[in-house]
Structure 1
Amino acid sequence: MLVKSPFGPVKLLTPLFSSSGLEDAQFFQVVDTIRANDLFRRMRREKSIEFIVPEAQHSKVVAIYKNLKYKWKKIHPNYGDKSPKEIFHLYRRFKQDRNHFFGRFGFIISENYQIKLKYPPDVSIMPSAIRTFIDEPHSVFMPMNLWEGILSTNEWNSKGLVIEALEETIHPLYGVWSPTNQEFLGLFKKYLDGVELQGTAIDLGCGTGVLGFMLAKKGMQVFGVDSLFQAAKCTNLNAQKLELDVNAVHDDANKVDLPMCDVIVCNPPWIPVSKKTALDSGVYDPDESLLKAAFMQTKKLNAKGKLLLFYSNFASKIGLQKENRIEELCQSHQMKIANRLELPFPYTTDTDHPLKKFKDSSHIYLYEIIRDL
């Protein structure tokens, strides 16, 4: 959406006031000497978009943003005696409100990717990051919450993210879910160390490509598929750097015409609810789309082929999914579980998370699924 900011026309990277419109929104100019308390109160009170002036120093703006986040942490929904499923949806709405709040505080980046602040950092991934939101070059309003993610990804992209189970370093792209929590990769390594694999593998929903890379290191030829263009690009770039036989395409996992193969590996998002933003793709799997695609594509497995599926029981614990859902899908596709490895869900350090006890008692599973002959 194009808006007339105090500094000229800019595009919004995320929707703001989408239900009530921008007609009566107020545009404020923010200096880097503003007190976070005053800004927080105004943003809570007014229907505003807060444009940081180009004369502001980047470091001071970051400090203001951190103070705003600290103040927001003191806000908590009232969950009362709600069920875990109801709490999930209330908490998700609360996080959406939080993202919308921080999405209203930002600065301008010009159409040639110049950061309109004093002493900004060097962000090499800026052009590709912005292109995940808009197709044509244009001045944009960069919210601080998106900026925080871009800075993190830029650091991973420049320094690399060490993948211990792979014994290699990968370079994630912005908007692609990155395996910063790597316990499940250790589970995959444990499985791979105990089996002999050869032939062709498909990495369905490949993301950064790590699972496919681990199969390629076992000597398999790997094809990756992802519905996100940036993910397929990320997999191909990293495969080239690592000199591994992995090639990825941008396509729908439910529609892509796969070759016959010996292994399908898939790590779909473990929560089957709708997506609200583009960045939800790595967190939510609406209507179990990728999970169902993994089973649907088992028709392309050779006679002794196998589906290697990562999944968690967290969604079933909070009432968002049937228990024994994987067993149910196996039965409907004439498949069976030949082996299952598991490990505890990564411990939740966020003591304020309303579903902490359910997360901490959940497990991650690696299912080895074969034809039920």
Structure 2
Amino acid sequence: MNSLSIMDGGGRRWLTTTGMNPPRRVVDVDDELTADEAYRLAVSGTGLTWHGDFPNARNLLAAMGRRCPSAAGKSFQDKRNHQSRRARILGRLLVPLDSGHVLPLRRGPDVRAACTEVYGPSETASLVSLPELLGVVGAHEWRVKGVEIPALGAKIHPHHGVFSPVRGEYVDLVAKSPLPATELAFDIGTGTGVLAAVLARRGVQRVVATDTEPRALACARENFERLGFAGIETLETDLFPPGRAPLIVCNPPWLPARAHTPLERAVYDPGSRMLHAFLDRLPRHLTPGGEAWLILSDLAELLGLRTRDQLLAAFRRSGLEVLGRKDTRPKHPRATDPRDPLHAARAKEVTSLWRLTTRAEPAPD
């Protein structure tokens, strides 16, 4: 959810999609500010409102990032905490926006369309962290450009705050696994709608896509219309729609850890709450003899956040049995990037499609 508050000194509104609070103290800075001084002020909690050249602001942000300590050798949770602190420090480099989301900086890009998509129309001056603005602009470019999905022969256009399907291996698993039925499928936590669209492309006659996030459903509906699948039903609900289906697909967040931003909720699931809720309620929504396709990476296991025995035990507790599993290796760039803090685990990562069914028919909700 977008957070808006009034800043002291100048009356500019604070824009954020991450829930980060505005700095209590803000000073005006320009191209004369050194990276060492900028980093010192940011670490102390001071916000730096930039009034110089925009490319120089980006260069300063990069220089501040190089001054942040390394997270090498830390545990996963320590790395997460380090990442959060780094984001807070770098997020104190701020840029002003005039009414209409006009960026009043030398050589500044036109950010009006990108900001309007995320924050809505603006008739007042505002202030936004430079990392957030760069993220908003980058998301707008992805939304315009789209992500090529070979299984669809078309592109999916992600919105800001909705996880982009750049990791194509999980899409390919759904595209290539034999369908147990074609009359009805549920896509739980649809996000951009990519898996629902793949099911419809494969001939599933009726697909119901659910999500708890209105922005995700808006993104999915836009993609369905663009792809010619306007008949796919969307529903804002916690996990399941009413009734049962012979095929239920779910690609939940893969890591049982706390999300620091709304976008991270697509990756992090504290205490595996969504995963366990999906498994526990699944038997009441799967038709007898039907299949649930659960797409999970084993990254949590490689990081020591969950064991394979704990996952299998969760299946058994929910009255589920495994019909089979199909595995694949990630192909995205981070899987082979030695600079990634999680490289040792990512190099071994396997993504799996678990085919689950019920052991006995439970009473419906």
The reply to whether TM is greater than 0.5 is yes
State whether structure 2 residue 94 is matched by structure 1 residue 100.
no
Listed as ranges, the matches of 1:16-165 within 5 Å are 25-44=24-43, 46-53=44-51, 56-72=52-68, 75-77=69-71, 79=73, 87-110=75-98, 112-123=100-111, 124-130=113-119, 139-165=125-151
Contact 1:239–1:247 (CA under 8 A) maintained in structure 2: no
- The residue matched to 1:117 in structure 2 has which SS? coil
Listed as ranges, the matches of 1:221-236 within 5 Å are 221-236=206-221
| Larger deviation, residues 333-342 vs 62-71 | 62-71
Using the size of structure 1 for normalisation, the TM-score is 0.85
State whether structure 2 residue 307 is matched by structure 1 residue 322.
yes
- Return 5+ residue gaps in structure 1 as ranges: none
| Larger deviation, residues 215-224 vs 291-300 | 291-300
The one-letter code sitting in structure 1 at the alignment partner of 2:81 is R
| Larger deviation, residues 35-44 vs 135-144 | 135-144
State whether structure 2 residue 189 is matched by structure 1 residue 205.
yes
Contact 1:109–1:142 (CA under 8 A) maintained in structure 2: yes
- Return 5+ residue gaps in structure 2 as ranges: 361-365
The one-letter code sitting in structure 2 at the alignment partner of 1:368 is R
Distance 1:349 1:106 in 2: 33
- The residue matched to 1:324 in structure 2 has which SS? helix
Distance 1:110 1:250 in 2: 35
Distance 2:25 2:12 in 1: 15
Q: Deviations over 1:72-98 (max 9, x none)?
A: 3xx22474xx7xxxx011000000001
Distance 2:251 2:126 in 1: 34
Listed as ranges, the matches of 1:288-299 within 5 Å are 288-295=272-279, 296-299=281-284
- The alpha carbon displacement at 1:294 in A equals 2.4
Q: Deviations over 1:344-367 (max 9, x none)?
A: 345534424444222222211111
Contact 2:41–2:47 (CA under 8 A) maintained in structure 1: no
- The residue matched to 1:185 in structure 2 has which SS? helix
Overall identity of the aligned pairs, in %: 23
The one-letter code sitting in structure 1 at the alignment partner of 2:5 is L
Contact 2:247–2:291 (CA under 8 A) maintained in structure 1: yes
What is the Cα-based RMSD across aligned positions, in Å? 2.5
The one-letter code sitting in structure 1 at the alignment partner of 2:104 is K
Contact 1:342–1:363 (CA under 8 A) maintained in structure 2: yes
- The alpha carbon displacement at 1:208 in A equals 0.4
The one-letter code sitting in structure 1 at the alignment partner of 2:114 is I
The one-letter code sitting in structure 1 at the alignment partner of 2:312 is E
- The residue number in structure 1 matching 2:266 is 282
Evaluate the alpha carbon distance shift between residue 9 and residue 148 of structure 1 in structure 2; reply closer, same or farther with a 3 A threshold: closer
Distance 2:100 2:315 in 1: 51
- The residue matched to 2:48 in structure 1 has which SS? strand
State whether structure 2 residue 359 is matched by structure 1 residue 372.
yes
- The residue matched to 1:28 in structure 2 has which SS? strand
